[in-house]
Amino acid sequence: MDNSSLHTKILDLAIAAGDGSFTSRELAEAGYSLRAVSFSSLSYMRLIDSIENELGVYLDPEVDAEHYETIDSVAALVVASGVGADA
């Protein structure tokens, strides 16, 4: 999965985890900042679960809290875990 695909995948998972509380357009307008769209703790739980389910990566939100603020930083965390970007 290249960087762009991974970004899109994380974006899709984040939108799903938000459970309709914001749209992809709103997230884009917020600079893809999850904090800016008030991503709730429940949404973070869903996102972490779905990343683990679909990408096989366990992310620990306490250890890496600062990496959960944007779609890009979450994607970078996934890459750092050895999954994803091959381009």
Partner 1 sequence: MTAVLPGAFTDALTRHGDRVAVTDPDTSLSYAELAARARAAADRLATYDVAGRPLRVGLYATNSTDYVVAYLAALYAGAVPFLADSAFGPFELSRIAEDCGLDLLIHAPDAAVEQVTEELLADADEFGSLKVSRVRRTDAPPPPLLPDTEVCRFTSGSTGRPNCIEFSGPAVLAAARNWARGTGLSAEDRIACLAALSNGLAFNTSLLAAFLPGASLHLSRGLPTASRIVRLLESTGATRLVAFPALYESIVRRSSTGGFTGVRAAISSGAPLRDSVREEFTRLTGVPVHNYYGVAEAGPLTYAVDGDGGGLGTPLPGVEVIADEQGIRVRSESMGSRYLNAPGVFEERVDDQGRYRTGDQGHLLDGVLHLTGRTGRLVNVGGRKIDPIEITEVLREAAGVLDAVAFEAENQHGDTVLAAVVAVEPGLTAQLLRTHCSAVLPSFKVPWVFHLVDEIPVNSIGKPSVERLRRLLADARSN
Residues that bind partner 1 (CB under 8 A): 19-22, 26, 29-30, 36-38, 40-42, 44-46, 48-50, 52-53, 58, 60-62, 65
**In the bound complex, what is the minimum distance in angstroms from residue 56's beta carbon to partner 1?**
12
Is residue 75 within 8 Å of residue 6, measured between CB atoms?
yes
CA–CA distance, 18 with 47 (Å, rounded to integer): 8
What's the closest the beta carbon of residue 52 comes to partner 1, in angstroms? Answer: 6
The rounded distance, in Å, linking the Cα atoms of 66 and 23 is 23
Measured from the CB atom, the residue of 19 and 86 that comes closer to partner 1 is 19
